[in-house]
Amino acid sequence: MVLGVPLALAQSGTKPVAKQVQTINLTQPVLRPAQPINPIRPEISTAMQPRAPGQNNPQALNRIPTNSSIPEIKKIEYASNGFIEVAHALILIPREDDNRERELAFAFASVQRAFKQRPALEEVDFSIFQKESYGGAGGPLPRMTGSILKTQLSEFLRLQVTDLKRFERIWLNDDRKRPTLRQATTEQETGLKYSGDLSGLKKQQSKQLQLEGGINEGLLFHGSPTQPIVALTFDDAPHPLYTPLLLDILRRTHVRATFFCIGRNAVAYPYFVRDMVKAGHEIANHTYHHVRLIGLSPSVIKEELETTSKILKSISGQTMKYFRPPGGRYSSQVLQSAFEEGLTTAFWTDDPADFRNAGEKTLERNLVKHLQFGGIILLHDNVLDSIQVLPQFLNAALKRGIQVDHISGMLEAI
């Protein structure tokens, strides 16, 4: 067997490389999974975060009409996983009107309206931001968030401001000092990208092609290609609206997954992290701001990882084992920082590109096509198509005799 590994080298952030394209031929027979493992390619320096090739706009979410007399409630969206419906209300309050009494009043109004207009809803989430500083998912943290189950509605509507800290599915921003706000990367995973010289790149590729799979010097590229089990992982968790739908599917199918959580998301929506742990899932580190770590100083990388691990442990009670760099971009410094934090850097073999929003049929076809022993599947918990095709994919794995579990569960089979 001849195994070609492309090494399309470009700038690595240091010295230019003389040859831009090289190939390593491994002439010895190699036992490997049925589908090629996602090859590591060199990091290419760029001032912009590229749009994933072929990426389409996501399907528009359904909306519940808002009350024009309450302009602070900007939108109430809802979605279904085929079994339950969940809604999320976005509320923007001007700074001069921002206080806990007003926040609670707008929360009441949005949750009541959603349940009244859409009786089929099982849950209504809300996020309250200051209007002037609102920057979306990567901007400043909300002032208040909540997740109200239908069965909790009466209890929720009886709350006073003094009761808020005791209600387990409400989070209040206490204005404590947070890590310096850094711009989150919007770059999607299009493969593993290593920033470094040729010898470092060859070393990474050698580790990636190890036959037995499993953890090797703090790295995890895949499980055993001889064991009928794969790991299911979700990046960018948690999110209002989407995470409850996903957790419901996993509960119904009796499947455990590993959730790579963004630290700031976990801070703002801690009850979803607790839901994951309660359901038997595994929590992992995906940096605090979802930043591209290449080029950051060792102290900043350390802060991104250390802060996130501490936050996740305080919420979940779990000690973090795994870390995944946003965008799949990493360097020897990133690996060293993760290792010093006691984290295994976990990559993936199967990225069906759910963020390209190519549609449910294409996504399901990509998932099934690359299903292989010892694989690590990469999905995102805030892509509705992924949630909606997950039952069909899990059924396809079952028919092939392949077990789906979280990373630790897969590694136990090695």
Which among 125, 235, 275, 351 is annotated as catalytic? 235
Which among 380, 381, 405, 406 is annotated as catalytic? 380
Q: Are strands 85-93 and 73-80 parallel, antiparallel or unpaired?
A: antiparallel
Q: Are strands 170-172 and 73-80 parallel, antiparallel or unpaired?
A: unpaired
- 3-state secondary structure at position 125: strand
The dihedrals phi and psi of 380, each to the nearest 5 degrees, come to -125, 140
What's the rounded Cα separation, in Å, for the pair 352 and 366? 5
Q: For this structure, is 380 an active site residue?
A: yes
> If you ran DSSP here, which 8-state letter would residue 278 be given?
H
- Three-state SS sequence of 298-318: HHHHHHHHHHHHHHHHHHHCC
Long-range contacts at 330-335 (CB < 8 A, ≥ 24 apart):
330/192, 330/193, 330/194, 330/195, 330/293, 330/294, 331/43, 331/194, 331/195, 331/196, 331/293, 331/294, 332/196, 332/200, 333/298, 333/301, 334/293, 334/294, 334/301, 335/218, 335/219
- Residues across the chain: 414
Could you report how far apart the first and last alpha carbons of the chain are, in Å? Answer: 25
Q: Residue 172, exposed/middle/buried by CB under 10 A (0-12, 13-18, 19+)?
A: middle
268-282 b/e (C-beta count within 10 Å ≥ 16 → b): bbbbbbbbbbeeebb
Q: For this structure, is 98 an active site residue?
A: no
Catalytic residues: 235, 380
